Structure 1
Amino acid sequence: MAQLLLVEDDVLLGEALKASLEQDGHAVALARSAAQAKKLWQAVRFDLCLLDIRLPDGSGLDLCAGFQQERDTPVIFLTANNTDEDIVRGFQLGCDDYVTKPFAPEVLLQRVLAVLRRTGGAPQMIRYQDLEIDLDRQVVRRQGMTVRLTATEWKLLERLARSRGRVLTRTMLLEQIWDVEGSFVDENTLSVHIRRLRQKLEPDPKNPRYVVTVFGLGYTFGEAP
Structure 2
Amino acid sequence: MSNILIIEDDRVLNRGVTFALKKDGHNVIYAYSKKDGMQEILNNKIDLLLLDINLPDGNGVELCKEIRDKVDFPIVFFTANDTEEDMIKGFEIGCDDYIAKPFSVEILKHKINAMIRRNDMELKNIFKYKELKIDFDRMAVLVADKEINLTATEYKLLELLAKNKGIVVTKEMLLEKIWDNNGNFVDENTLSVNIRRLRKKVEKDSRRPEYIINVFGIGYTFGE
The TM-score normalised by the length of structure 2 is 0.53
Which runs of 5 or more residues in structure 1 are unaligned?
A: 122-225
Output the aligned Cα RMSD. Answer: 1.4
Contact 1:7/1:52, CA 8 A, preserved across alignment: yes
Q: Which amino acid aligns with 1:63?
A: L
Which runs of 5 or more residues in structure 2 are unaligned?
A: 122-224
Correspondence for 1:47: 47
Q: Which amino acid aligns with 1:59?
A: N
Aligned ranges 1:173-192 → 2 under 5 Å: none
| CA offset digits 1:15-69 (Å, max 9, x no partner) | 0000001100000111100000011010001000000000000011011111112
Between the two proteins, the alignment pairs up a number of residues equal to 122
Measure how far apart 1:112 and its partner are: 0.4
Measure how far apart 1:71 and its partner are: 1.6
Aligned ranges 1:203-214 → 2 under 5 Å: none
Correspondence for 2:210: none
Residues in 1 aligned to 2:23 and 2:57: alpha-carbon distance in whole angstroms: 29
Residues in 1 aligned to 2:12 and 2:69: alpha-carbon distance in whole angstroms: 31
Answering whether residue 10 of structure 2 is matched by residue 21 of structure 1, we say no
Measure how far apart 1:72 and its partner are: 1.5
Correspondence for 1:185: none
Contact 1:67/1:73, CA 8 A, preserved across alignment: no
Residues in 1 aligned to 2:64 and 2:40: alpha-carbon distance in whole angstroms: 14
Residues in 2 aligned to 1:93 and 1:20: alpha-carbon distance in whole angstroms: 28
Runs of 4+ in 1 over 4 A off after TM superposition: none
| CA offset digits 1:188-224 (Å, max 9, x no partner) | xxxxxxxxxxxxxxxxxxxxxxxxxxxxxxxxxxxxx
Aligned ranges 1:1-225 → 2 under 5 Å: 1-120=1-120
Residues in 2 aligned to 1:84 and 1:42: alpha-carbon distance in whole angstroms: 32
Measure how far apart 1:108 and its partner are: 0.4
For 1:39, what is the secondary structure of its paired residue?
helix
The TM-score normalised by the length of structure 1 is 0.53
RCO higher in structure (CA 8 A, sep ≥6)? 1
Q: Which amino acid aligns with 2:115?
A: V
